[in-house]
Amino acid sequence: MTSPNSPSSSPYPEGSAAFPHRHLTGMAKLQPWEIRFLLDEAEHWVEMNRKQIEKRDDRLHGLTIINAFFENSTRTLLSFEIAGKRLGADVVNMHAAQSSVKKGETLIDTAMTLNAMRADAIVIRHASSGAVQLIADKVDCPVLNAGDGRHEHPTQALLDALTIRRRKGHIEGQIVAICGDILHSRVARSNIIALSTLGAQVRVVGPPTLIPKDIELMGATPFTDMDAGIKDADVVMMLRLQNERMDGAFIPSPREYHMLYGLTPQRLEKAKPDALVMHPGPMNRGVEIVSSIADDPERSAVTEQVEMGVAVRMACLDVLTRKRRGVEGWQ
């Protein structure tokens, strides 16, 4: 097999699976070329999505995708639904608030129920870290993690990587400052893994109470001073305070937090002049970011991130169902 790092006409290892995984539960399990493969696949869908409706592709026709969301979502749920429908699949959404989970049904029983319905892919969001892997181990079809607790949000990291690659041309060597509540953020965790795997220099910036103690082991450099953390950054990725996951007081007040860690035009001047501002959403305007930056199309990639989310999820649904669809040469 050709080394993925050796010169070759293909960017992927010769004769092997570009994506040999049954599920997408996190970025931690992926090799650099596997991440690049998903990004390359997504590029195709970005272009297709910008074309006329009649040019679209029904390759998932006849497949049933279940979106099982045990936590609230706007972007991830809708973009998985749109992604599946654009590829011709039947998409069913299960909202925990209206399901038998409210009657005391366990996660495993719910998973086995979805499995018995013979879904072709299940997309899961859950408040508990590890819940998605638990379900993936029990069901017969591919499972895609749409965010599990503080653990991982792999399609968010993929859409962020795609946004950076398209705006900056490449990811390797980019200085990416991820700022805010790192401790409770699955977005931060998946992005640290994905972007450092792809060769970016990743910094995390926030109050000491919101930075995990072992963050350097994950390949990120911690900063507690915002100005120092974003100095000369190519990308400034802002995160909201995940109040729903906090079991105590992690910051003195939102006002003080904004003074120390909010992204303002003055503070952004510390980053590179062409620094890209990102936010996975939902934003808390006036807390971690001010509107004049969030809404500035020259600096902010927020809406582009949402657009990339549909393309990335189309790529993931396509790639993960190839074996079920009998697509030759996928491995």
Applying CB under 6 A, which residues contact ligand CP?
Answer: 73-76, 147, 156, 280-282
Q: Which is nearer to ligand CP, 97 or 217 (CB)?
A: 97
Q: How far is the CB of 242 from ligand CP (least distance, A)?
A: 11
Cβ-based nearer residue to ligand CP, 4 or 281: 281
Q: Which residue, 18 or 317, has its beta carbon nearer to ligand CP?
A: 317
Closer CB to ligand CP, residue 202 or residue 312? 312
The helix (H) or strand (E) run that includes residue 320 is helix 302-320
Query: Quick count: other Cβ atoms within 10 Å of Cβ 6?
Result: 8
Least distance CB 153 / ligand CP (angstroms): 6
Rounded Cα distance, 119 and 17, in Å: 24
Q: Which is nearer to ligand CP, 165 or 279 (CB)?
A: 279
Least distance in Å: CB of 254 to ligand CP?
A: 20
Work out the angle between the directed axes of helices 186-197 and 154-168 (0-180°, nearest 10). Answer: 50
Least distance from ligand CP to the Cβ atom of residue 314, Å: 16
Place of tokens 């396509």: 318
Please say which residue, 75 or 138, places its beta carbon nearer to ligand CP: 75
What is the DSSP annotation of 262-297? -B-HHHHTTS-TTPEEE--S---BTTTB-HHHHT-T
Q: How crowded is residue 285: how many other Cβ atoms within 10 Å of its Cβ? A: 14
Cβ proximity to ligand CP, 18 vs 24, nearer residue = 24
Cβ-based neighbour number of residue 135 at 10 Å? 25
SS (H, E, C) 94-114: EEHHHCHHHHCCCHHHHHHHH
Nearest Cα to Cα of residue 155 among 331, 330, 58, 23:
23
CB of 156 to ligand CP, least distance (A): 5
Identify the DSSP state of 275. Answer: P
Least distance in angstroms from the C-beta of 186 to ligand CP: 9
Q: Which two tokens stand for residue 142?
A: 């591919």
Per-residue tokens: 206:
């926030």
Least gap, CB of 167 to ligand CP (angstroms): 18
